[in-house]
Structure 1
């Protein structure tokens, strides 16, 4: 090949890559009968921005918050080329994807991959054959998703298999989140100290699709505030809209609603459901739902509400948090005037005491388990071969720091540069107690997990590598043979709330070789150890072999001066990146 033809070839390749990047980032892909490789190019950087009008440092992908949407069809292959332009490591997790046959791309440092070093590239590449629906991606390293590294991940079913294809006219993706005016570095410094008594940081605000307003008279001293703006959704009258709702919070659960409109729930965490009509939708950290909203009301503008579950947060008295997060729904023809609609709760002006919005408590628990049934019915998984009771607790460690425990073990993460998936290559390796490893060695065994939370606040638990059945949920202590189970076509999802002073029971089949995390999705609780990991089918996992470019990540080791659980602290002006 001549030099000129070689250069033309490179130019053509870059043009195709840019075309893929533009198509994949900008518009939903048309369904094609032949699966395609959807390629995304990401550059991870930091900058200052003000999602709610308060300026702060944020970590971004391609200069966006929320980050770029990944939108593909079932069967497509996803390739994400990550350029880590930060001066600290990172990883990415694809929340809701089972990563079948690709466990080393699940993105959990210390478990199934090593971190991506600063100043380097890494390529994630995985299939979508066994999963559809509404999902999301986020950083899974050192609390970085709290600082901005989140985005939506939508996988559309084939037209012949999509049961709701004709049930709506358009769709919107809605990413809701709590938001902090300080980066995680200083927040963690306080949280991981005896003085916090384990009370996680209180959000300063909430966001809908990366926007909201803030009262500048309440801003923390030293921060710049311009007031911000709300997200606006433009709807046509008499149309049906599918809303894909994702809670990307660090801690907060929400009760989602649109004034004077009902929501028809059709999906939970990628599982299509028998439609259920509700007035409001509780959604906890890590969970996703799809609802259909019909715009058949009077032509005017309405508030979309995400009411934060303050009943499941530490006491917010004395903070600057307004727990009611709003966006505008504008009917065509109604103009741009602010909505005047009211929610379901209107305080009584004659009341002598301040009334508590009941939505704040309703947000802290899942929809009624016995009302949610998958559209595609599956029998309850049985017989149970592994029944695991996990007791959730918090207590102070030897440094008087409050930590989270599962069965008396607090997870410390081990060494992120010597992950469990590498340790598993040695069949006789003995794991540290603090790694909280549990092996599942028999293929197709039915695993039941009973979360005992009879003495604590609510926790949304997420299992990597699986969609599980939620067969039980209630208050008090679970009693075998007495507590009512959802045995007929139980709900299937990947993130379920363990209620305050209660229990949740889930089941899954051990048929996916890998190292899979099980953790509370309150990100602060991950930091304090409310995590464990399954090594599933370890012999089969060893035989799969780790790809060379994945294993190579582990060769660099941590940057100089790196310390786990230190969070994001913006680099000082003129500071150079870490070097080995």
Structure 2
């Protein structure tokens, strides 16, 4: 809570197996605390199936990180699992400190079995809800958790103080080992099987068999207001979320305050976070919180509804909950209108510093395709690309190669625009447009301002794509359906109070324009947050050059940086 006691400047996190779930008040003691993340395999049962999954400290989802704006955080991660591992602290800017960012082979080599690595970073100029997750292969299916950053001591929320808070993590569950599924899919050249269930705080809810003990319940009191910190940790699904009989007021997205927006449902893409206020103002009872997939093209998805219970105190468990009216799974109009209504708070204390002058304009097209593969089931392997380049992961971390000037690891000639313009969202195309493979990145001058337009295409199919940029927030200055028109569309940009995010959805058959100032030197990953597409190559990176002097340059690497 904003009024909790002071936290020490240095916080060392050792999340114990006995960590308690539910409502948690921030500790007020000033002593240094040391905590540890232990990556291990634990048997977890969902949907009548028990199977070993990779967990942190035996928990699924993993423990919550609590910090305060201005804190230093040290998290020691020890890998006891059979898989190599890295952890990404999603949305934390990691100023000059890409060594703590976490994406495997981009800013670090993974932590090998039996080894440890200490993520050491400062929380500067950020407060709100973020999250952490594995950033290698599909291991974030079960390796993820919330990050709650409270404002500086004595700084209240810019909205009514809630009575209590709760974390709501939306995820996906497979009844089989996801790593095995991914390997099988790669061999066959096909997508892995879709998930068997969605989850809320790791539980699918009572609409699934054998789920009596696998339902999350949030007890509330009549007349009180609650802050729900909602995180989409699903691998491949944009999700709707609603609470039966109750409206929600959005007050924050991706750890940035927004103008309050009251709505019956929200849309949240993989990687995004949304804080909402909910007032328990209905007749005492039991009400379902529910989530299911948004997909507005005929692509197979897991559209089963996961539920949890918003339960008024004193109401017996025998009362049958009511279901909310979620938008239809293909409700494009709701999705576009909801995102259009999100606006930065933009007050003197929390301004929207939108770059008005642009130094570098980038235009990236998103392509799906099928490359020849004689050993695959259909003779082809599905692929994905930006500007016709399908990104190949290196064997040495890009940041390491950049810092130590190791040649031959990557090229800095990623094109600013596609090599051949065409009608991007017109009739379906099946050609790959000579898609190339390579480890190619863009070099960006320090402190320059960048505008990036991400354009969906109808190569194989149009589809919505949530893109995440590491190391930065950005302003979503414009979005539209169809082909971006550089002569007309910029005139419609919102340069006053656009939403500020770290993950943005590119609409199906449309485009999104973002702006940011490249004031964080290092190597920063940018990728689709649909794990399926990331694995196919829908990713790249920016190499932001050092600024003038050591205080604007990448910090030296830590001594325990994992080797490749």
Please report the TM-score for the alignment, with normalisation by the length of structure 1: 0.82
User: Secondary structure of the equivalent of 1:185?
Assistant: helix
1:420 aligns with 2:398: yes
Q: CA RMSD in A?
A: 2.8
Residue aligning to 2:81: 86
The 5 A counterparts of 1:21-32 are 25-26=19-20, 27-30=24-27
- Partner residue of 2:169 out of 171, 175, 179: 175
Counterpart contact for 2:14–2:36, Cα < 8 Å: no
The 5 A counterparts of 1:359-398 are 359-362=329-332, 367-375=338-346, 376-398=350-372
Stretch deviating more after TM superposition (426-435 or 228-237): 426-435
Q: Distance in 1 between matches of 2:39 and 2:455?
A: 39
Stretch deviating more after TM superposition (82-91 or 321-330): 321-330
1:407 aligns with 2:387: yes
Q: Distance in 2 between matches of 1:267 and 1:202?
A: 30
Change (3 A) 1:503 1:209: same
Residue aligning to 1:444: 447
Change (3 A) 1:38 1:113: farther
Counterpart contact for 1:113–1:550, Cα < 8 Å: no
Query: CA-to-partner distance for each residue in 1:107-135, whole Å, 9 max, x for gaps?
Result: 11211111111111211111112211101
Change (3 A) 1:382 1:63: same
Q: Distance in 2 between matches of 1:364 and 1:40?
A: 40
Q: Distance in 2 between matches of 1:548 and 1:340?
A: 52
Q: Distance in 1 between matches of 2:13 and 2:237?
A: 38
Counterpart contact for 1:250–1:521, Cα < 8 Å: yes
Residue aligning to 2:422: none
Change (3 A) 1:195 1:100: closer
Deviation at residue 315 of structure 1 after TM alignment:
2.2
User: Secondary structure of the equivalent of 1:274?
Assistant: strand
Count how many residue pairs are aligned between Structure 1 and Structure 2.
509
Change (3 A) 1:19 1:186: closer
Residue aligning to 2:325: 344
Deviation at residue 230 of structure 1 after TM alignment:
1.2
Counterpart contact for 1:365–1:497, Cα < 8 Å: no
Q: Distance in 2 between matches of 1:544 and 1:215?
A: 50
1:252 aligns with 2:237: yes
Counterpart contact for 1:303–1:339, Cα < 8 Å: no
Counterpart contact for 2:296–2:508, Cα < 8 Å: no
1:512 aligns with 2:520: yes
User: Secondary structure of the equivalent of 1:86?
Assistant: coil
Counterpart contact for 1:53–1:213, Cα < 8 Å: no
Counterpart contact for 2:68–2:149, Cα < 8 Å: yes
Change (3 A) 1:235 1:76: same
Change (3 A) 1:233 1:384: same
Counterpart contact for 1:108–1:141, Cα < 8 Å: yes
Q: Distance in 1 between matches of 2:103 and 2:12?
A: 29
Change (3 A) 1:426 1:520: same
User: Secondary structure of the equivalent of 1:477?
Assistant: coil
Q: Distance in 1 between matches of 2:11 and 2:480?
A: 50
Deviation at residue 369 of structure 1 after TM alignment:
2.6
Stretch deviating more after TM superposition (207-216 or 487-496): 207-216
Counterpart contact for 1:301–1:338, Cα < 8 Å: yes
The 5 A counterparts of 1:245-324 are 245-311=230-296, 314-316=299-301, 323-324=304-305
Residue aligning to 1:350: none
Q: Distance in 2 between matches of 1:159 and 1:367?
A: 33
Deviation at residue 39 of structure 1 after TM alignment:
3.3
Counterpart contact for 2:11–2:71, Cα < 8 Å: no
Query: CA-to-partner distance for each residue in 1:139-175, whole Å, 9 max, x for gaps?
Result: 00122112x1101011001244333464311111100
1:203 aligns with 2:203: no
Counterpart contact for 2:289–2:324, Cα < 8 Å: no
Counterpart contact for 1:24–1:40, Cα < 8 Å: no
The 5 A counterparts of 1:417-496 are 418-427=396-405, 429-430=407-408, 431-432=410-411, 434-441=438-445, 443-455=446-458, 456-483=462-489, 484-496=492-504
| Higher helix content, 1 or 2 | 1
Query: CA-to-partner distance for each residue in 1:468-501, whole Å, 9 max, x for gaps?
Result: 0000112111112312212222110100000110
Counterpart contact for 1:364–1:458, Cα < 8 Å: no
Deviation at residue 285 of structure 1 after TM alignment:
0.5
Stretch deviating more after TM superposition (419-428 or 364-373): 364-373
- Partner residue of 1:522 out of 520, 523, 530: 530
Residue aligning to 2:328: 358
Change (3 A) 1:428 1:175: closer
Residue aligning to 2:423: none
Structure 2 unaligned blocks of 5 or more: 1-9, 374-379, 412-436
Counterpart contact for 2:309–2:321, Cα < 8 Å: no
